[in-house]
Chains A and B, each alone.
Chain A
Amino acid sequence: MSTISTSDADRSSELTPSGGRVWRVEVHPADPADDPRGASLAHEVADLHLAPELQAVRTARVYLIQTALDQSAVERIAGELLTDPVDQRYRLGATPRSDDAGLVEVHYLPGVMDPVAMSTVDAIREMLGDVDCEVRTGFRYDFVGIGPEQSKLIANRLLANPVVQSVTDLPEWPQRFVEGTPYEFKLTHIGIRDLDDDALVRMSREAHLFLSLDEMRAIRDYYRAADRDPTDVELETLAQTWSEHCVHKTLKSKIRYTESESSGLEFAGRPNHTVSDDGSIYIDNLLKSTVAAATHELINDGLDWCISVFVDNAGVIRFDDEFAVTFKVETHNHPSAIEPYGGAATGIGGCIRDTMGTGLCAKPIANTDIFAVADPNYAADELPKGVLHPRRILKQIVAGVRDYGNRMGIPTVNGAVSFDDRYLGNPLVFAGSVGLIPNDKCFGEAKPGDRIIALGGRTGRDGIHGATFSSAELTDTHADEFSHAVQIGNAITEKKTLDVILQARDHESGCLYSAITDCGAGGFSSAVGEMGEKLGAYVELEKAPLKYDGLSYTEIWISEAQERMVLSVPTDRLDALRALCEAEDVEMCDLGHFGTDNAELILTYKSTEVARLAMSFMHEGIPQLTREATWSPRSVALKCDAPTTSIPKTLTRLLGDPNIASKHWIIRQYDHEVQGSSVIKPLVGEKADGPSDAAVLRPRLSSQQGIALSNGLQTSVGDVDPYWMTLSAIDEAVRNAVCVGARPDRIAILDNFCWPDCSKPDNLGSLVRAAEACYDGAKAFGTPFVSGKDSLNNQFTTDEGKTIAIPSTLLISAIAIVDDVNRCVTMDAKSAGNMLIQVGVTTNQLGASYAAGLSSTDIPRVDLTTAPKHLATIAKLIDQGLVRSAHDCSEGGMLVAAAEMAFAGRLGLDVDLAGVPRRGELTDFAACFAENPTRVLLEIAPDKFDAVARTLREAEVPFGQVGTFNESSKLTVHSDAAGSLAAVEIENLLNAWLKPLDW
């Protein structure tokens, strides 16, 4: 066994002449038996059967402090700052490793954001004056009962990600911290003018530009005309600006769409669709011709509550006479595949900045999160190389959203998790952010002469190439190649920046800036490029404050370091803004100005010009793609689970399906009540453990008006036909919002497409079908799309060359107005004796249902001629106070929804299938488990039944009584044909639902 220096004094001979030395402080629990983090880790190891001999885990926080301070000062720092006098003890140096334990230390790699270290430095300076010190932090784990090899295995499986952290089996104690090498300026030109097609393609790939041949040619021709070669930073700027991530070129392309046999959809007459003689359909700009077209047509037809759609960082709709609400949902898939914690945290952090960059800054008031991962019980030894285990991915994603959202003080109120093994190498992370903004602050515009001001975090090497990387396909080597694209966030920096910006927005002398946007994908390049599109911009890159030395001018320009906002500030408002920043410890820098001759982008580094690009070429020079899209009806039979099992068994299985089972393990880790606005929470009912259909908030604490947030995700239907999947998802999102009491005529929706490689005609064909359904659905429901995002290259290629494409996934998110939150309803059954009513019809179509899987492609379809009216009628009943509870009938079908209502209300329920409204023959199995859209269960008090029935009949909405709640402990199911079909203890159903994801 190697010896380790056990006392700090051992290092006294290693003093370095200047800048001091590195001190090591370990902070341990005072009572080794009282170590919750260690106990929790031991529990996790036991859960995963990783090391049966493990007896306990002892944890310690490690601080490495590089300073010239003497030992007494370091002891003071350790004692007064780093250690809790009641339950912790510190030790200078490294505690010796004990013979019976394996030791592992996990530390961030140099250069990776370490928020604790940054705060510690600030706190030391607060204590001791402006002393020179640097800090790094890590964790020490002593695994009692097992050896070093096994300990390291646990660390690699559960604790560390080599992309951002190091794992060592010795105490980390460097003599000096690694330092950045100072940057030596050298202007680089890239010869492009003489390149042929092959060479252009090679350059695009090798330089990670991810541009197509046509785009590379356009760039080459631009520089031929300009009679010079581009600089490296010009080329990078074009690659970022033209990336799929930033410009959505697939959705904006010209598409030729053909069907192998008619899908029955009528294309003639759709906006910007041309049907040619050979039957193929030409669509000029898919996004504009479908999703956006629906919104603009609704507005032209008189819809008057959309304030800003598709043009800003988020969609904006009217809330009341003083305020509007904003909504944006982003995806952050590829970073989350490689480093799920940082990827998800910066996903939500980035989406929050979209809210801050909307209009003149909306205040973030709610977050949403939807994840798609593989089966959490996936066999660990069958994982492809380069893939993290789905359980770990999910845990880390949740931790990332939790730590960022909670620290920002924004309630995370609505979400979903979808499990499918096709997400194995390419999980999906959708992060949403809702904002509140004064009506007179919904628009901003940079003015010539305004200063370009960056606020918030410093610029580092983190996140470089994120925009281009997110547009590429994942492979087993991506973690190595693109580790620099991974970002670690610091929520408090973003919170401080938000605090300052809101004060600047509402400044007594008027808003201190004329425009604002976030630094997202592409960093300064995208932010300044967008704000200065019409004006041009002049930027002095060396002015940006850096995290460490060594960044080139190109790295500064394209870095995706987090927590930065760019503001366009009139020169006479600079002092007021600077004063606010100083008062709140927020860093502000002046990068240059907007407005140049000929609207050019000019970049300089220490007075040398490093780029000069026409804004018009950046923003309009990209050649429009022409893409082929095809569609063939699918005759898939992926799973075959014929509906022969008994009703109680199927019900229990469905409640325990991870897709349906309770997500309380996730929900309770999020602060979903901060800001004090919560009205309907994600979990509701007698014991707050029933699944709410939507969240309701009161964004203005002094008002009774609310907003509802919901989502629709019907991926399994998409395996048959993405058109019907999309309509089902819109129907579900609207239905969920209506079920809590939202106004059906004030619902705005968002699209988030996550598709496999859309350069393949069949994938693009399925995207076309989804987009056409977006148009049809939005028009029929009167629900405008106000914002959206796409991620169109989601698949993973293993080291064996096998490609796993994700299923076509469309998330529909909805935001709706609630007139009076006091009239909201929840899904939990309220009283024995009340009647359970099903509204909407059930059929024998079990295709793509959770009960039957894809044993049939006969899927139920949304009827757009009746669905909007049905949902509007339900909304009316709720508004009139006739409904005690309402629950969306979706995954798992009617019986799953009914069981959820019963157990959430701790009531018994007798179900009689005779009352199920039907069209055609209906089996008992289908009556219980078919997943027809546009169905809702309502709990109605007997004295209200007549009024309810009258309203439904008058509106020609099919309905029937399917049960009665009672005081018993059982759910029973009866049918005329079969008599008693089931009698199950409610508690067993509840447990079946609660247990699977109770981690």
Chain B
Amino acid sequence: MINTMKPKTLILRTAGTNCDVELAHAFELAGATTQAVHLNQLVAEPAMLDDFDLLGLPGGFSYGDDIAAGRIFANRIRHALYPALRQFVQAGKPVIGICNGFQLLVKAGLLPGFELPEGAPPQQVVTLTDNANPRFLDRWVALRAESESVCIWTRGLDSFDLPIAHGEGRFVAAPEVLDQLEAQRQVALRYADNPNGSQRDIAGVCDPTGLVFGLMPHPERYVHKTAHPTWTRLDLGSPAGLRFFTNAVEHVTSDASLTA
């Protein structure tokens, strides 16, 4: 049975977050409601996560990306919110981290989220580091969703374009980690034309459940047709970015009862 209540999305923001408004807009277009919550507030009351069905970690320059992109935000999550977020995912609730949100998921050890012994501390096994050409780059890139991936966010997507805008987006991990990601079908998104030197062209990965998803490209920037760089040349149909969010909203509305 489809639940007609709108799912609630927590948009987690902090000093330097700057893609929160458009991320909220994307979730709202997809049929969810949103509430922006400051990290300080969530750290003070982790239980407030229980009131939400979806979690969005927007892009930006959290804490200036000082030290390294997403590092300080990730450390705060590790110290104060790791159990609460694990619990959120265990409850079957989807999480997306875009750009800086992806960087922090990786650095907090929430992605790729390989199985750990019970109670083990979070462990960072992949990283997002300086682009091969170490400078900030804003451009649209061609992407390919892995049809076999367990990711719930990329279901039904094939080949499409999204913008990237980052200086530290090169996906790096040890070969055995990459192999395990592939084997567990956690690679959800690859670049068709690798813009930053990412290993195995990886643009986005999910955790083994497919619920937690991080990617460097910005789907929230392509939820209207006029955002695409060639929209004045040809009609590309429904904007691909929106699909990520409708997928997640459909997942929570069809699959489970919403948080009361």
Contacts and interface: CB of A to CB of B under 8 A. Distances in A.
Interface of A: 36-37, 39-40, 80-82, 84-87, 115-116, 118-120, 122-123, 126-127, 402, 406-409, 490-492, 495-496, 499, 583-585, 667-681, 683-686, 688, 698, 701-702, 821-822, 824-826, 828, 830, 885, 905
A82 B124 contact: no
B61 interface: yes
Contact of B131 (A36, A492, A828): A36
**10 closest Cβ contacts across the A-B interface?**
A409-B18, A676-B22, A119-B66, A86-B127, A36-B134, A492-B64, A116-B66, A671-B165, A407-B61, A36-B130
A584 B124 contact: no
27 contacts: A36-B130, A36-B131, A84-B124, A85-B127, A86-B125, A86-B173, A87-B172, A118-B66, A119-B63, A406-B136, A407-B18, A492-B61, A583-B41, A584-B38, A585-B40, A670-B136, A673-B138, A674-B18, A674-B221, A676-B25, A686-B233, A688-B139, A688-B140, A701-B224, A826-B233, A830-B232, A905-B233
B194 interface: no
Contacts of A495: 15-16, 18
Contact of A37 (B21, B68, B130): B130
Nearest to B106: A86
Interface string B15-32: 111110110011000000
Contacts of A37: 130, 134
Given A116-B64, A492-B16, A672-B138, A822 B226 contact: yes
A490 B232 contact: no
B66 A81 contact: no
B133 interface: yes
B8 interface: no
B22 A86 contact: no
Contacts of A84: 68, 71, 107, 124, 127, 129
A348 to B, nearest CB: 15
Interface in B36-94: 38, 40-41, 59-61, 63-68, 71-72, 75-76, 79
B64 A491 contact: yes
B126 interface: yes
B114 to A, nearest CB: 14
A676 B221 contact: yes
Nearest to A669: B136
Nearest to B163: A673
Contacts of A685: 230, 233
Most B CB atoms within 10 A — which of A491, A701, A821? A701
B218 interface: yes
B223 interface: yes
Contacts of A822: 226
B229 A681 contact: yes
Given A116-B66, A406-B61, A824-B232, A675 B227 contact: no
A119 B227 contact: no
B90 to A, nearest CB: 25
B79 A126 contact: yes
Given A585-B40, A669-B136, 18 more contacts: A36-B133, A37-B130, A40-B135, A80-B75, A123-B67, A407-B16, A407-B61, A409-B18, A491-B64, A495-B16, A584-B38, A675-B18, A675-B21, A677-B22, A678-B227, A680-B232, A701-B25, A824-B232
Interface in B200-242: 218, 220-221, 223-224, 226-227, 229-230, 232-233
A684 B232 CA distance: 9
Nearest to B229: A688
A669 B139 CA distance: 9
B169 to A, nearest CB: 12
B137 interface: yes
A37 B41 CA distance: 37
B19 A674 contact: yes
B259 to A, nearest CB: 24
Contacts of B5: none
B132 A36 contact: yes
Contacts of A667: 138
B230 to A, nearest CB: 7
Contact of A669 (B40, B135, B197): B135
Nearest to B19: A674
Nearest to A824: B232
Contact of B136 (A118, A671, A681, A684): A671
A81 B71 contact: yes
Contacts of B165: 406, 671, 673-674
A116 B67 contact: yes
Nearest to A363: B21
A123 B127 contact: no
A126 B174 CA distance: 30
B40 A409 contact: no
A669 B163 CA distance: 13
A40 B163 CA distance: 24
Contact of A408 (B18, B38, B68, B172): B18
B138 A668 contact: yes
Contacts of B227: 673, 676, 678-679
Contact of A668 (B130, B139, B230): B139
A402 B134 CA distance: 14
B99 to A, nearest CB: 10
A44 to B, nearest CB: 11
Given A686-B233, A825-B232, A123 B75 contact: yes
Contacts of B130: 36-37
A409 B138 contact: no
Contacts of B223: 676
A720 B115 CA distance: 74
Contact of B138 (A80, A499, A671, A824): A671
Contact of A81 (B15, B75, B170, B221): B75
Contacts of A905: 233
Contacts of A86: 124-127, 129, 172-174
Nearest to A410: B18
